[in-house]
Amino acid sequence: MRRFSLVLIGTTAATLLLAACQKQPEPATDAATAPAPAATAEPAPAADTATIAAIDTKALPGEFSGTLPCASCPGIDTRLQLAPDGTFKLDERYQDQADGDFSLSGTWTVEGEPAEGERLRLDPDSKSDDDRVYRLVSVDELRLLDTEGKDIESALDYGLRRAPAADAPVAE
């Protein structure tokens, strides 16, 4: 019985990780999509036990990085650069895999309402690549969403955090 439980847990974990590594299709949504630089910030009503504040999208441009979970490797080193003109460059390196370097570029937009949770959509220039969608946790953190544009229920870290600016002083 114990062996069956371990196999079941391992299979479930592998399935979740495999789903996280697949390309993200564009989820159907009725929310208006606005270009990131033109969006405005407004206070938001309370949701659950925390208040969701609107994200000042003018503060979003910059670099975000982190290591995302991967089913076929130890992790995916990810670097996302958001430009003020609404363009992006995404670099991914699948750890311990030959030919595991990938790059995407395209445009980014912010969609959704603050009370529902704003999302960042990456629309690649290549139409053979699927959109990627992230939850805007704050101007300093993005969290990858699943293929349907919903939060991934997992103890694994799907977050990208703002990289310090190149001219920022280094703390000792």
- Mind listing the pLDDT tens digit for each residue in 130-172? 999 999 998 899 999 987 888 999 999 999 999 987 665 555 5
Answer whether residue 115 is part of any domain. Answer: yes
pLDDT digits 0-9 by tens, 2-61: 443 433 344 444 444 444 455 544 444 444 444 444 443 333 333 332 334 566 777 889
Is 167 contained in some domain?
Answer: no
Domain assignment of residue 171, yes or no:
no
pLDDT > 50? residue 66: yes
Instruction: Tell me the CB-side half-sphere exposure of residue 85, using CA atoms within 13 A.
Output: 4
Domain membership of residue 172 (yes or no) is: no
Q: What token pair was written down for 87?
A: 């363009």
Residue 105, C-beta contacts closer than 8 angstroms, at least 6 positions apart? 87, 88, 89, 90, 124, 125
Q: What is the number of domains present in the chain? A: 1
On whether residue 168 sits in a domain, the answer given is: no
Q: Which two tokens stand for residue 148?
A: 């349907």
pLDDT score at 93: 96
The CATH number of whichever domain residue 119 belongs to comes to 2.40.128.640
Question: Residue 111 is encoded by which pair of tokens?
Answer: 């969609």
> Per the domain annotation, does 169 fall within a domain?
no
Q: Which pLDDT value is given to residue 33?
A: 45
Residue 89 has pLDDT above 70, yes or no: yes
Q: Is residue 128 part of a domain?
A: yes
In a domain? residue 16: yes
Domain that holds residue 65: 2-162
pTM confidence score: 0.64
Q: Residue 120 above 60 pLDDT?
A: yes
**Phi, psi dihedral angles at 58 (to 5 degrees):** -70, -20
